[in-house]
A and B are shown apart, each in its own frame.
Chain A
Amino acid sequence: ELKVEQNPLFLSMQEGKNYTIYCNYSTTSDRLYWYRQDPGKSLESLFVLLSNGAVKQEGRLMASLDTKARLSTLHITAAVHDLSATYFCAARMNAGNNRKLIWGLGTSLAVNP
């Protein structure tokens, strides 16, 4: 059974600093997704990572995927307050026709001045 673990679950960082959120998954998965959720709001798709070595960047966020290590990272560069949100990773489980996403618990990020 596929399990997805994120760490840290809570992260408080200063503006201007860099940090990485980790997403480990337990069995083979061929797609990894990152979403953002602002407090009390909906989820917004950030990245879809399709293959080993995939790297995608949008502004101060960069996501990567290492399928051999079963690890995806979300790197934050020079954080700003607007990045404060909860970040979820989700992995697609390959199980014949019963494909579904398994979600991590989310990383709650607070960027402080």
Chain B
Amino acid sequence: NAGVTQTPKFQVLKTGQSMTLQCAQDMNHNSMYWYRQDPGMGLRLIYYSASEGTTDKGEVPNGYNVSRLNKREFSLRLESAAPSQTSVYFCASSVGGIEQPQHFGDGTRLSIL
């Protein structure tokens, strides 16, 4: 029972490089989310997708783009990475809307030099 799978688990980038973080869930959930977690900042929502084909901005969307490829997959892209985007990124999903408990992936630890 995989749940929410994120790849890669670790990544180091140079400033200006681009990268896509992948997320897939096998629970047939409708909603998916991308968060970043920084020390002393808690979790902040980057983007979310309430259903296949829709995406909406969260609190901190600048510098990111997302794609809800299908019901299972929700990717996060950094077009031109900046050191301020060094963080741990979590993907989550929920069966319905944001009022449902969210199931989280193991996270991607991203460092940008």
Name A's B-contacting residues (CB within 8 A): 4, 31, 33, 41-45, 48, 88, 90, 92, 98-101, 103-106
Contact = CB atoms under 8 A, between A and B. Distances in A.
B41 interface: yes
Nearest to B94: A45
B23 to A, nearest CB: 12
B103 A104 contact: no
Given A99-B97, A99-B98, A100-B98, A42 B42 contact: no
Contacts of B58: 100
Given A100-B48, A101-B45, A104-B42, A92 B104 contact: no
A112 to B, nearest CB: 23
B51 to A, nearest CB: 13
Contact of B90 (A42, A45, A90): A42
B106 interface: yes
A103 B98 CA distance: 13
Contacts of B4: 42
Residue from A48, A98, A101, A105 whose CB has the most chain B CB atoms within 10 Å: A101
Interface residues of B, number: 23
Contact of A43 (B41, B45, B48, B104): B104
A29 to B, nearest CB: 11
B102 A45 contact: yes
Interface in B92-113: 92, 97-99, 101-107
Contacts of B72: none
Nearest to A44: B104
A69 to B, nearest CB: 21
A101 to B, nearest CB: 6
A31 B97 CA distance: 13
A101 B42 contact: no
Contacts of A33: 101
B40 interface: yes
B40 A105 contact: yes
